[in-house]
Structure 1
Amino acid sequence: MRQTWRWFGPKDRVSIDDMMQAGVEGVVSALHHVPTGSVWTPDEIEKRQSLIACMKDGAPSGLAWEVVESLPVSEDIKKQTGDWRAHIDAWRTSLKHLHAAGIETICYNFMPVLDWTRTELAHRRPNGATCMRFDLIDFAAFDIHILKRPGASDDFSDAVVENAGRRFAAMDDATRAKLADNIVCGLPGAAESFTLDDIRDHLAGYAVLGEDRLRQNLIDFLSEVAPLAEELGMRLCCHPDDPPFALLGLPRIMSTEADYRAILDAVDLPSNGVTLCSGSLGARPDNDLPKMMEALGDRVHFLHLRNVTRESDDIAGSFFEDEHLGGSTDMVALIAAVVREERKRRQAGRRDVSIPFRPDHGQEILDDFERKAQPGYPAIGRLKGLAELRGIMTALTHEHEGLRA
């Protein structure tokens, strides 16, 4: 397992020096300032590589940009409208430029409109730490009473609708505005964010698309880009829906093992793979993460390791982002499944034996509160998570105490 760290670029309040002191081996980054649908040019790629290669004082960092997260897929591609064919051409060109720069692993997602959804970005825990949280009642209050999406009440149970009405009535204007801002804050690290009118416009564009059509659009996209990735020796890995259940009446097509299997079988190339995000998938109680790793492991190209605590057994329910070894997912069992997969790859002589992972998200602790980094990406909280994950990896692979074949 290769230890990586997400970096949002020169505006990131967590520096290259910080991640070096965390002991990471590689960097996950993206050109967030480049508009979606545009080509990532060799010059822009080289600029990011140069930044990653140097510490603040100009000394070499020894780190390299190893994983792209994300090379964004435009809404036009997802809906097959507007400039979608030109955007696919640009995506393919960007792949070629990344390959020429020595970068082989590309994470992307196919979630309509919003890349992730939380109702709180700084939910306080009993020990004083803060984390991101999704509250179903708050979300329903937003959907029904703030966004005022037609038919929104039909998507929730009577009890949720009733509780959402009471919750909304108790909110003042500032609380309502904060809730809306949290939900529509847009892509993590990206230049764009959405207004309520933007969200309504995007929802209208998806009104005629169901799950089957969106899934076929993803298959069509992969049919265009995965053969090129295969030819170049690159690995594409789709991130799951976050959260992995329907919101805002939008189709969800990457929420379960069956969803992934349908896409992997439809475009059956080794380059077409999985970003296994234990936090996103773990928010749904019928997803067994260790078993998913066993089932999909040969196509898992990238790992996001984080944990959530589900607050109900419902498919769609509230959850908060817990400590990496806390929460509802058995992280030790998941890492054990990863170690077994890597042993299989080593025995098969595969080139991609070591699967890159990053400690995804983290609770804000200690001086994270002063740094005010990207929501979900604190320095100390992620370092704590990485240290915990590193300890499990070391124990499971130790020659005396490690995992038995």
Structure 2
Amino acid sequence: MKQTWRWFGPRDLVSIDDTLQAGVQGIVSALHHVPTGSVWSPAEIAQRQREIATKTDGSPSGLEWDVVESLPVSEDIKKQKGAWRDHVSAYKQSLHHLAEAGIEVICYNFMPVLDWTRTDLAWHRPNGATCMRFDLVDFAAFDIHILQRPGAKSEFGGSLCEAAAERFASMSPGRREELAKNVVFGLPGAAENFTLEDVRTHIAEYAQISETRLRSHLVDFLEQVVPVAQELGLRLCCHPDDPPVPLLGLPRVMSTEAHYAELMQAVDSPANGITLCSGSLGARPDNDLPGMMERLGSRVHFLHLRNVKREGDGIQVSFFEDEHLAGDTDMVELVATVLREEARRKAEGRADWSIPFRPDHGQDILDDLNRRAQPGYPSIGRLKGLAELRGLIAGLERGIVTAPATHTA
């Protein structure tokens, strides 16, 4: 398991020097400043590689750009409207340029409008740490009373609508504004930052796109780009919906094991793979992460290891970003299953037997609370998570992994 770290580029408050001190072996990054739908040029790719390879003092870092996260798929492609064919052509060209630069793993997602959704970006924990949280009542208050989406009330139960109305009434103007910003929050330097009106417009355009139709658009996209990736020796890997439940009336197509199994079968190529995010998928109680890794592991090209704690028993519930070895996902069993998959690949002679992973998200602790880096991506909180995962891996590799567990579908 190759230990990687997400880095957002020169504007990231966590530097390449910091990642070295964390002990990472590779970097996950993207050209967030390039407009979605445009070609990633060789010059821009080479510039990011140089930035990763260089410490603050100008000396070599020894690190390389191992995983792209993400090469974004435009809303036009997802909706199959406007310039979507031009965007697919640009995507293919970007894949050629990335392959020429020696980068093989390309993460992407097919989430409509918003890449991920949280209501709190710095929710206080009893030990003084802060973390990201999805509060279902707050989200309902946003959807019904701030976004004022037509039909929103009908998608929430009566008791939840009442709780949302009470919550909204108790919010100060500042909290209402903060909640709206949190829900539409974007990555630093991202080419797209949506306003509420932008979100309303996109939602209206998705009104005629069912889950079945969106899935067919994803398959259409992959049927065009996967052969290119396979020819170039690249591995595409789709990130799951976050959270993995319907939101804002938008369709979801990458939320369950069944979704992934169907996609892998629809475009059956080693280049069509999975980003297994234990935090995103773990927000649903019916997603068995170790079992998914066992059953779909041959197509898992990238791992996000993080944990969430669900605050209820239903499919759609509140949850928060817990410590990496806490939460509702059995991280010990998941990592053990990953190591078994790596051993199987190695025995088969697969060149990609070592699966890159990163300690996804993390609680803000210690000096993170003053640094205020990208929400979910603190330096010390992720370092703690990586250290815990590194210790877990070392222990399992020294003999705790025995006979494979059996996970039934």
Q: Shared topology, TM-score over 0.5? A: yes
Cα distance, 1:189 vs structure 2: 5.1
The residue that corresponds to 2:331 in the other structure is: 331
Structure 1, 269-278 or 184-193: larger mean CA deviation: 184-193
Match of 1:138 in 2: 138
1:402 aligns with 2:396: no
SS at match of 2:57: coil
2:36·2:191 contact (CA, 8 Å) conserved in 1? no
* Shift in Å, 1:229: 0.5
Any unmatched runs of 5+ in structure 1?
none
SS at match of 1:21: helix
Structure 2 unaligned blocks of 5 or more? 404-409
Question: What is the deviation of 1:191?
Answer: 3.4
Counterparts of 1:97 and 1:191, CA distance in 2: 20
Distance across 2 between alignment mates of 1:202 and 1:97: 30
Q: CA deviation at 1:99?
A: 0.2
**Does 2:314 align with 1:314?**
yes
Deviation digits for residues 128-187 of structure 1 (CA, Å, limit 9, x no counterpart): 000000000000000000100000011111111110011011111111111001001134
Cα contact 1:125–1:131 (8 A) shared by 2: yes
Deviations 1:327-366 (A, max 9, x none): 0000000000000100110111101000000000000000
Number of equivalences: 403
Instruction: Answer yes or no: is the 8 Å Cα contact 1:52–1:63 preserved in 2.
Output: yes
Which amino acid in 1 is paired with 2:237?
C
**Distance in 1 between residues matched to 2:9 and 2:388, nearest whole Å:** 25
Name the CA shift for 1:221/1:187 in 2 (closer, same or farther; >3 Å): farther
Aligned to 2:227: 227
| 1:265-299 Cα distance to aligned partner (Å, 9 max, x none) | 00000000000000000000100110010111000
Say whether the 8 Å CA contact 1:189–1:374 is kept in structure 2. no
CA distance 1:132–1:152, shift in 2 (3 Å): same
The residue correspondences of 1:176-187 to structure 2 (distance < 5 A) are: 176-187=176-187
Amino acid at match of 1:30: A
Preserved contact between residue 306 and residue 360 of structure 2 (Cα < 8 Å): yes
Identify the residue that residue 363 of structure 1 maps to in structure 2. 363
Structure 1 equivalent of residue 67 of structure 2? 67
- Aligned residues of 1:116 and 1:187 also touching (Cα < 8 A): no
Matches within 5 A, 1:98-117: 98-117=98-117
In structure 2, C-alpha distance between the alignment counterparts of 1:363 and 1:189, rounded to whole Å: 22
Distance in 2, matches of 1:302 and 1:188, equals 22
In 1: Cα distance, 2:241 partner to 2:287 partner: 13
Q: TM-score, normalised by structure 1?
A: 0.99
Q: CA deviation at 1:54?
A: 0.7
Equivalent runs, 1:4-403 vs 2, <5 Å: 4-187=4-187, 190-398=190-398, 401-403=399-401
* Cα distance in 1 for residues equivalent to 2:188 and 2:170: 30
Partners of 2:313 and 2:286 lie apart in 1 by: 9
Secondary structure of 1:141's aligned partner: helix
Identity, % of aligned positions: 69
State how far apart, in whole Å, the 1-side matches of 2:95 and 2:118 are. 31
Which 4+ stretches in 1 moved above 6 angstroms? none
C-alpha distance in 1, partners of 2:31/2:267? 27
1:119–1:179 contact (8 Å) kept in structure 2: yes
TM-score normalised by structure 2 residue count? 0.98
Question: Residue 133 of structure 1: SS of its match in structure 2?
Answer: strand
